[in-house]
Amino acid sequence: MRIDKARDYVVDNLQYALNPSSIAVVGASRYPSKVGNKVVAELLEWGYTGKIYPVNPRADKVLGLKSYHTLKDIHDRVDLVFVAVPAHLVTAIVEDAIEIKAKVLVIATSAFKEIGREDLQNKITLRLRENKIPLIGPNLVGMGSPYNHFNCGFIPYLPVPGPIAMISQSGANLLAALGTSQEDHFGMSFFVGLGNKADVDFSEFIEYAQKDEHTKCLAIYIEGLDSPEAFVAACKKVTKPIVVIKVGGSKIGVKAAFAHTASENPEPDQYYDDLIKEAGAIRAVTWQEFLDISLAVGYQPPLKGDNIVMITNGGGAGLLACDHFERCGLPLHELSEISPLLATRMRAYMPMFGSPLNPVDIAGTASAIQYKGAFKQALRDPAVDGILGAICPTAVTDVSAICDAAIEVYEANKELNKPFIMICQGGKECHDAILKFRDHGIPAYASAEQAVNAIAALRKTAVK
Amino acid sequence: MRIDKARDYVVDNLQYALNPSSIAVVGASRYPSKVGNKVVAELLEWGYTGKIYPVNPRADKVLGLKSYHTLKDIHDRVDLVFVAVPAHLVTAIVEDAIEIKAKVLVIATSAFKEIGREDLQNKITLRLRENKIPLIGPNLVGMGSPYNHFNCGFIPYLPVPGPIAMISQSGANLLAALGTSQEDHFGMSFFVGLGNKADVDFSEFIEYAQKDEHTKCLAIYIEGLDSPEAFVAACKKVTKPIVVIKVGGSKIGVKAAFAHTASENPEPDQYYDDLIKEAGAIRAVTWQEFLDISLAVGYQPPLKGDNIVMITNGGGAGLLACDHFERCGLPLHELSEISPLLATRMRAYMPMFGSPLNPVDIAGTASAIQYKGAFKQALRDPAVDGILGAICPTAVTDVSAICDAAIEVYEANKELNKPFIMICQGGKECHDAILKFRDHGIPAYASAEQAVNAIAALRKTAVK
């Protein structure tokens, strides 16, 4: 339901959604195949340290924990009430939650507005608003934070810790990102699926993210905006970079977005383009770009100018990058134009058939020592605004040693505050290097175009 | 050097470049850090079963093999001569190769036309043309085929076997694809790096690929075309689908392409767009798209119409796909328009909060049995031209069981000859499913947009 602006009581209470000291899980089943069972199982598995109160009218124990027949039987402070019972039972649960003075209510259950039951959804929402209890959902997957070992919902993974707060209207895409986080070390501070967002809206999680100490950037997936003014106002208040993907702009997508999260999209896609621009956020087009850009702005400082030096041992990666830089409106400059002295110095780190043009091609024979020298010279040159490195594994490339050398140079020159991005294109050793780079705060990607998208986004954060 | 059309003697002799019964490696070093040593080591490691003759004036044994001081000392048939000695020594080797009647000469050595030594490169080329010995290179990484356990060059990996012949002017990008092949089961029939392509040109490998029994599609990476007419003519002769990525179109890319593989790009990018269209090939823009599209057209039949049905357990993946289908000029149609009966039938495989719109959202609770039923109904409906499935791992999704069910339905209905593409977006179990799908000939991808790009390419192969 529409709000004019982010409400303070909601923003304040969201701490109980992401770092509660106690949780009641209503619909906590004894049967492992049921979602209500999974919620408790995942809380336990990922090491939640607060109190868990399963609620189930027909059980005394769930997964070894004492279970309560109703919320009112708990007789203890309950921060978060997580509801996973069929829609027709929810109204009664809401009354109980009000009575026990829960701090936040999460309704995971589907079958509300998205299948035509708008009245029921609105009735519950208004009842909770009267009592100043924020409602997250309904029709959502859950939320969590790796910093709090907190995984609350129908969520098979907890992400690796990192700088990105992901606020997603889609559960499935959020889960995909969490899986990617584990596999590809896409580090997150917290995540939440908003679902139908009957009450708590984007703007409120956006303001919460600004206050969250672990969050360095916001990654927001939108299917529809009920309160665009509140969204823009919240984004403007936030000093951290914001990346947005807005879906459902296609003809059939408008209908699919309604069927999915009851999102209404009466406006053309250009409206969202303008709105996201006004909000000072960066819009991503594809899912991959959304993740790649978020990683970059989460870990790296803004790119203050367009003097980027690319250092590669493979000309092909360099060419893919050149073309994509131009496509992104950020064409590479020749090194001799950026810094004639640097162009001369670079010769020391390459064989005679290398090229100091930019991309600087230090050739397929490049060693970790050559990479290190080239990176150091480029980073320390005052004319250079940012570095893009690429490792292409030839038969003589020691990917792991080059990775370590690059991390060493990066860390020794961190105070220069220049973006440092890597491409590692190849097989297992490249994927391992990507993970290691990311663990050290260096955004690393498997293809040139992904890295260039990341750099283009860092340029945008400088001109926000 | 320019050719008017693919030369028959070259196309015939390329079998010795990819399936030689004997190889001489000139510059085979005893020292493991040297590239000349790696070439022999990789041939042995990957199980090459032909004869290997190391050539080294200062060695009698290399990696346990009898070594020869010159090519002329071999006194046995040599199909392929692989040269990895410095450029100034190459002229003498060429004369020896002519004398022993080698079938193909490969010069891996760099420092020819790309650093200004065009005269030397041309002299060698003309000398070999006089003697009808195809020259591959110089300045290249190598070639190979997993079907022949043949890895010949500075190449740390052999790809997994599959339908894609990759013909690449860039060594580094070729190596990246080979690494991806191992990690992500991007199956290849053969691969070759062309480097400066002084003599043997794209057109000749294109015609060879048409004859190669394992090749079902061609993936071609171009930095510059010396003989565009020969390229177009060869593509037109080939009945297998061809995917092309052409780089170096950006302002700085033109210079970088010359520095890399001595490629000259006097024409604007639109020229290549038109040329690739005339050739009947599909042009990819980014590297990821290049791989994704190649995989699809290598494994799947053309998409004969635009009635695609998408079946997903996550609305978010469906929305990303909808929007991207529209971006690709192939908007999804509502299922009730494609087949009203199918829309009704689909209801049997989803809960009440699912949606039969298209994307068909069978919801986060979907089981392998529900997926199987939905896939079967959609595949067998005569109005349906192709299927896009998506698996999003919720806490109750059995990704592995759904993967097996999908493969079963696909294999049982193969004679229908309809494209079947999968999205598996998430963590490790999704990556495992992607590998299994690919091993069964089903192109599977980690994001919706990649899969939609693949389908759009399959539509193009139908209208070639």
Amino acid code (one letter) for A197: K
How would residue B381 be classed by pLDDT, with cut points 50, 70 and 90? very high
The residue behind tokens 């043009």 is A357
CA B412 → CA A365, B43, B408, B418, distances in Å? 50, 40, 6, 12
The answer to whether the CB of A210 falls within 8 A of the CB of A216 is: no
Of B408, B352, B402, B349, which Cα lies nearest the Cα of B377? B349
Q: Which residues contact B8 (CB under 8 A, 6 or more apart)?
A: none
pLDDT for A159: 96
- Nearest Cα neighbor of A233 from A275, A292, A296, A174 is A275
Instruction: Count CA within 13 A, CB hemisphere, residue B104.
Output: 26
pLDDT at A34 over 90: no
The yes-or-no verdict on residue A255 having pLDDT over 90 is no
- In chain A, the percentage of residues whose pLDDT exceeds 90 is 83
Q: What CA–CA distance (Å, rounded) separates A447 from B312?
A: 28
Phi, psi angle pair for B279, to nearest 5°: -75, -10
Name which of A134, A184, A141 is nearest A42 in CA terms.
Answer: A141
**Environment class of residue B404 by beta-carbon count within 10 Å: exposed (0-12), middle (13-18) or buried (19+)?**
middle
State how far the Cα of B114 lies from the Cα of B258, in Å rounded to an integer: 6
- Whether residue A192 is predicted with pLDDT greater than 70 in this model: the reply is yes
* Other beta carbons within 10 Å of B351: 16
Asked whether residue A172 carries a pLDDT value surpassing 80, the answer given is: yes
Asked if residues B90 and B83 have their Cβ atoms less than 8 Å apart, the reply is yes
Q: What is the pLDDT of residue B111?
A: 78
Amino acid at B51: K
Distance in Å, alpha carbon of B363 to nearest chain A alpha carbon: 9
Burial of A101 (0-12, 13-18, 19+ CB in 10 A): exposed
- Does the beta-carbon distance from A179 to B426 stay under 8 Å? yes
* Contact: A324, B259; criterion CB under 8 Å: no
What is the distance between the alpha carbons of residues A444 and A284, in angstroms, rounded to a whole number?
18
Distance of CA B267 to the CA centre of its chain: 26
A230, A176 Cβ separation under 8 angstroms: no
Segment (H or E) for A15: helix A15-18
Q: Which has the higher per-residue pLDDT, A257 or A313?
A: A313
Whether B114 sits inside 8 A of A353 (CB atoms) is: yes
Q: What is the identity of the amino acid at B218?
A: L
Question: Which range, of A28-37, A101-110, A334-343, B36-45, averages the lowest pLDDT?
Answer: A28-37
CB atoms within 10 A of CB A373: 19
Residue A329 has pLDDT above 90, yes or no: yes
Which of the following CATH numbers is that of domain B302-462: 2.40.50.140, 1.20.1300.10, 3.20.20.70, 3.40.50.261?
A: 3.40.50.261
3-state class (DSSP) for residue A58: coil
Q: Rounded to whole angstroms, how far apart are CA atoms A21 and A77?
A: 9
Which helix (H) or strand (E) element contains residue B116? none
d(C-alpha A198, C-alpha A177), whole Å: 23
DSSP state for residue B451 in the 8-state scheme: H
Chain centre distance of CA A71: 33
Q: Could you tell me if B63 and B53 are in contact, meaning their C-beta atoms sit under 8 angstroms apart? A: no
* Length of chain B as a residue count: 464
Residues of chain B with Cβ-Cβ distance to A157 below 8 Å are 426-427
Residue A147 contacts by C-beta under 8 Å, 6 or more apart in sequence?
A: A161, A189, A190, A214
R_g (Cα) of chain B, nearest Å:
25
The tokens for B59 are 């060695």
Q: For B302-358, write each residue's pLDDT tens digit.
A: 999 999 999 999 988 999 999 999 999 999 999 999 999 999 999 999 988 788 899
Residue B111 gets the label, from left (phi > 0), alpha (psi -120 to 50) or beta, of: left
Instruction: For residue B398, count CB atoms less than 10 angstroms from its CB and return exposed for 0-12, middle for 13-18, buried for 19 or more.
Output: middle
What number of other Cβ atoms are within 10 A of residue B411's Cβ? Answer: 12
* Residue A157: alpha-carbon gap to chain centroid: 14
Query: Can you tell me the ipTM of this complex?
Result: 0.93
Give B453 to chain A, closest Cα distance, Å. 12
The angle at the Cα of B368, spanning A115 to A46, to the nearest 5 degrees, equals 80
pLDDT tens-digit readout, B52-97 = 999 999 999 999 999 999 999 999 999 999 999 988 999 999 999 9
Per-residue DSSP letter, B186: -
CA-CA distance, A242 to A10, in Å (whole number)?
21
State both tokens at B317.
């993946």
- Give the pLDDT mean for A416-433: 96
Q: Which of B252, B306, B361 to mutate to test the interface with A (most CBs of A within 10 A)?
A: B252
Q: Chain A: residue nearest B177 by CA?
A: A426
Which pLDDT score is estimated for B104? 98
* Sign for the pseudo-dihedral over CA of A396, A372, A318, B449: positive
* Extended strands (E) in B3-79: 22-26, 51-55, 61-62, 65-66
Question: What's the sign of the alpha-carbon dihedral B357, B361, B366, B368?
Answer: positive
Widest Cα–Cα separation across chain A: 79
Q: What one-character DSSP code corresponds to residue B104?
A: E
pLDDT score, position B464: 60
Distance from CA of A75 to the nearest CA of B (A): 30
What pLDDT score does A23 carry? 98
Q: How many CB pairs under 8 A join A and B?
A: 325
The label of the residue with tokens 């106690």 reads: A22
Q: What's chain A's Rg over C-alpha atoms?
A: 25
pLDDT for residue B376 is more than 80: yes
A355-369, B88-102, B182-196: which has the minimum mean pLDDT? A355-369
* Range in B35-39, B105-109, B127-131, B297-301 with the lowest mean pLDDT: B35-39
Q: B172: which chain A residues are within 8 Å (Cβ-Cβ)?
A: 312-317, 364, 392, 394, 425
Choose from A114, A143, A173 for mutation: most chain B CBs within 10 A: A173
Chain B residues with CB under 8 Å of A111 CB are 352-353
Q: Which residues of B touch A257 (CB under 8 A)?
A: 315, 319
Checking if the pLDDT of A296 tops 90, the result is yes
**Residue A172: which of B178, B249, B392 has the nearest Cβ?**
B392
Q: What is the pLDDT confidence band of residue B1, given thresholds at 50, 70 and 90?
A: confident
Contact B124, B109 (CB under 8 A): no
CA dihedral A258, A263, A268, A270 (to 10 degrees): -130
What is the pLDDT averaged over residues B203-213?
98
Domains B8-297 and B302-462 share a fold: yes
Distance CA B264, CA B227 (A): 11
Which sign, positive or negative, has the C-alpha torsion B235, B240, B241, B245? negative
Q: A250, B314: Cβ pair inside 8 Å? A: no
Residues B228 and B233: their CA atoms lie apart, in Å, by: 9
Looking up tokens 């992904």 gives A450
Cβ within 8 Å of residue A10, ≥6 positions away:
A134, A199, A200, A204
Cβ atoms of A254 and A104 closer than 8 Å: no
Mutual angle of helices A448-462 and B287-299, in 10-degree steps: 140
pLDDT for position B33: 80
CA distance B237 to B7: 14
Q: What one-character-per-residue DSSP string does A102-115 give?
A: -SEEEE----SGGG
| Tokens of residue B323, six digits | 């929007």
Quick check: A171 and B38 CB within 8 A? no
Q: How far apart are the first and last CA of chain A?
A: 30
What DSSP string describes B255-272? HHHHHHH-----S-HHHH
Q: Do B319 and A141 touch (CB under 8 A)?
A: no
* Closest in A352, A364, A393 to B179, CB measured: A393
Residue A349 CA to residue A369 CA, distance in Å, equals 8
Please say whether the beta carbons of A441 and A299 come within 8 A.
Answer: yes
* CATH class as words, domain A8-297: alpha beta
CB distance B315–A430 less than 8 Å? Answer: no
Q: Express each pLDDT in B246-299 by its tens digit.
A: 998 888 878 877 777 777 777 888 999 999 999 999 999 999 999 999 999 999
Distances (CA, A) of B282 to A94, B185, B274: 57, 22, 11
Q: Is the pLDDT of residue A389 over 90?
A: yes
Res A463: pLDDT: 77
Angle between helices A399-412 and A368-380 (to 10 degrees): 30
Q: Say how far apart CA B45 and CA B30 lie, in whole Å.
A: 16
Domain residue extents for chain A:
8-297, 302-462
Does the beta-carbon distance from A353 to B111 stay under 8 Å?
Answer: yes
Torsion of CA A179, A184, A188, A190, to 10 degrees: 0
- Pick from A157, A319, A445 the residue to mutate for testing the B interface (most B CBs within 10 Å): A319
Q: Which of A334, A286, A308, A343 is nearest to A452 (CA)?
A: A308
pLDDT score of A464: 60
What is the rounded average pLDDT for all residues in chain B? 94
* Chain A nearest C-alpha distance from B451 (Å): 12
Residue type, B178: L
Greatest mean pLDDT range, A346-355, A362-371, B263-272: A362-371
Q: What is the predicted pLDDT for the residue at A342? A: 96
